[in-house]
Structure 1
Amino acid sequence: MSTVPLASFERLLGDLTRILQASEGALVSHYSAETAPAEIRLRPLDWPIEPALTGPAAGIPVTHTNPKQPAAFHAGGDRADLNRIGQSGPGGKLNQNALCQDCPERMYPVRQFYQAGSIPVLVVYFAGSFYADEMRRDLSRTNRIGTDAEDELFERMLQSLAVRPTALHYQEFVACHFNPERSSPADWQRRARNCGKHLQHTIETRSIELVILSGPSAVMLLGKETAQKQVEQPGLFALTVSANRPPIPALVLRSASAVLALESRRKLARQQGQTQEYDHFKAQESRIKKQMLQSLQTALQRWL
């Protein structure tokens, strides 16, 4: 097998450089008029401030009705066609989010963006990617809210309250995957507004009586400030999903990924023998998990 001397490669590279620089409209000349990649100042994605929906009526007390009474939202249309909205129907009927054309820049729709439950409680979550360095696979056909670890954490919390994870409804918001490298805060805000109709559709047709918003989905729906306030001061609030409908009780929870990040930091501190940091992360993790459990217990008390 013949080999090419290194000197020959060096000459070829030198000739190629001169050709590119000398050619009219060459790539190098175009590049020289632009900012070099190494000089581009990157900044983290800033969350949109404005809510995607009408927003929560903060401070309005939530009154629980008798679970045997009719729900505030009544189903409309053919219920048979709405069975398992997130799956293809008879004859290969496309999913609701796959049929939506509101966001032409999407990469592809979430494969199973909705999973039906048996009690009128809807968990709204986001398992997609906001940052280029954390591209996540679509696990919606096998998992509920994200990765195996995220599902396991949320299931443990529900099971500690004697609630079957399969009893709840689940819906991903937003319901499509997008390229995070080409997405601005305004893009995410527009997508959330467009996707609000799918959430409203589920609430109405499934007679949902409680909405649990998790992490990024809460930020996109409520706006950054309101979502953060609801996390720091947990409790039920009245969420307005439509100007023509009465508010519905809702709860904001930290995302499972955020709690798992705390667990990882605690374990790392222990491995590195950082006693002070370990104690800090352990106390913080314990406080947050206890708070989440108490919030879930209060919100789900009608079905416990």
Structure 2
Amino acid sequence: MDQKSILERFSDILTEAKFLIQNKSVSVYRFQEEQDPNDYGFPWKSKVPESIEIQKKQQKENQRKNKDLVNFSCTLCQGKLSGVRQFLHKGRKPILVLHYSGATSPKEKPFTKTKPNQIFKDKLTENSWGEIVGKVFGFSFEELFYQEYPACTFSHTDSKDTDWQQRVENCKFHVKDTVEEYGIKSIIILGSSAKLLFGGEKAKDLLGKQISWDLSGLSVPILITRSPEALVFLGEKAKKTDSESNLFQYGKEKQELEESFISHLSTLKPYL
């Protein structure tokens, strides 16, 4: 077939196609198991950008859904190694406990949570804290909110005091977010978190005291107290001693520490 014949044939096909299209008589070849093209739906979506308000609302919703992982994507601090796993434990009582399971000095060993819903480093600490909370409030310690402060891990061998001060200052952002979202009425700051925030000497002076804490314009009452790990430490020392006098001394110190915990936490009852 020469070129002229091909063009004539093509012209005839176009003429026939025009007639079939005008009369809606175009048949589509398909296999028996295939769906009829007329049964397909083609949803339409506008390409007009969403309003800023809608975008912010969606972003807020995504942040709420990914609350447990927000510290992993946080970029507020330099030198960050990783976010602390399970950094937020959601309770039902409006009191937030700030603590830190990471290492802050060369003497400490790095720690990583490995169990679901783990709050403290070990079961002994949880049991000791649980007994105190139970005596004071009459409910499980898991009823309170807990948050790692700071919420990430850093080098415990290379970090300076000024580095930690900047990190806890930056991390107020996440604390404020938790306070606002869950209606927190008071905050307990334990051990190492208090030391990082105020420094060792000032944290010691503030033990058992309630003060107001400014979170970027939001004032929240806070209570500084020791970490329940101190109770575990005294208990372990008592087990290892062979001296009755030392055993008595450790027992006395532990009892005094328990009484101080009870006294401190009792001041928070009005917030429940």
Is the contact made by 1:237 and 1:250 (CA closer than 8 Å) also made in structure 2? yes
Aligned twin of 2:83: 109
Question: 1:128 deviation in Å?
Answer: 0.6
Cα distance in 2 for residues equivalent to 1:118 and 1:138: 26
1:102 aligned counterpart, secondary structure? coil
TM (normalized to structure 1)?
0.64
- Runs of at least 5 residues in structure 2 that lack an aligned partner in the other structure: 1-55
- Residue 196 of structure 1: aligned partner: 172
**Structure 1 residues 138 and 262: CA distance shift in structure 2, 3 A:** same
1:281 and 1:177 mapped to 2: Cα distance? Answer: 32
Aligned 8 A contact 1:219 1:227 in 2:
yes
Residues 195-246 of structure 1: CA distance to partner in whole angstroms, max 9, x if unpaired?
1211121112222101011001112223333311122xx232222223x22x
- The 1:85/1:255 distance shift into structure 2, 3 A limit, reads farther
Q: Does 1:230 align with 2:206?
A: yes
Query: Could you tell me how far 1:255 is from its partner in structure 2?
Result: 0.6
Q: How does 1:169-208 map to 2 (within 5 A)?
A: 169-208=145-184
In the other structure, the counterpart of 2:14 is none
- 8 Å CA contact retained: 2:85, 2:112: yes
What residue in structure 2 maps to residue 259 of structure 1?
231
Contact 2:95 / 2:187 at 8 angstroms: preserved in 1? Answer: yes
Q: Secondary structure at the match of 2:171?
A: helix
Give the helix-richer structure, 1 or 2. Answer: 2
Q: Which residue of 2 aligns with 1:145?
A: 120
Rate the CA distance shift 1:133–1:235 in 2: closer, same or farther, 3 A: closer
Distance 2:261 2:124 in 1: 17
**Is the contact made by 1:85 and 1:115 (CA closer than 8 Å) also made in structure 2?**
no
CA contact (8 A) 1:144 1:170 kept: yes
Corresponding letter in the other structure for 2:83: P
Provide the secondary structure at the position in 1 that maps to 2:209. coil
Structure 2 contact 94–271 (Cα < 8 Å) conserved: no
Counterpart for residue 30 of structure 1: none
1:293 Cα deviation from its structure 2 partner: 1.2
With over 3 angstroms needed to count, the CA separation of the structure-2 counterparts of 1:302 and 1:211, relative to structure 1, is closer
1:302 Cα deviation (Å)? 4.6
**2:255 maps to what in 1?**
286
Gaps of 5+ in 1: 1-75, 88-94
Runs (4+) off by over 4 Å: 76-86
**Contact 2:185–2:221 at 8 Å: present in 1 too?**
yes
Match of 1:71 in 2: none
How far off is 1:301 after superposition?
A: 4.6
Quickly say closer, same or farther: Cα 1:221–1:228, change in 2 above 3 A.
same
Q: Classify the secondary structure of the residue corresponding to 2:72.
A: helix
SS at match of 2:189: strand
Q: Which has the higher contact order (CA 8 A, sep 6+)?
A: 1
Q: TM-score normalised to the size of structure 2?
A: 0.71
**Contact kept? 2:237, 2:250, Cα under 8 Å:** yes
Which stretch shifts more, 97-106 or 203-212? 97-106
CA distance in 1, matches of 2:57, 2:89: 19
Q: CA deviation at 1:122?
A: 0.2
Does the 8 Å CA contact 1:210/1:250 hold for their aligned counterparts?
yes
1:100 equivalent in alignment to 2:74 = yes
Residue 16 of structure 1: aligned partner? none
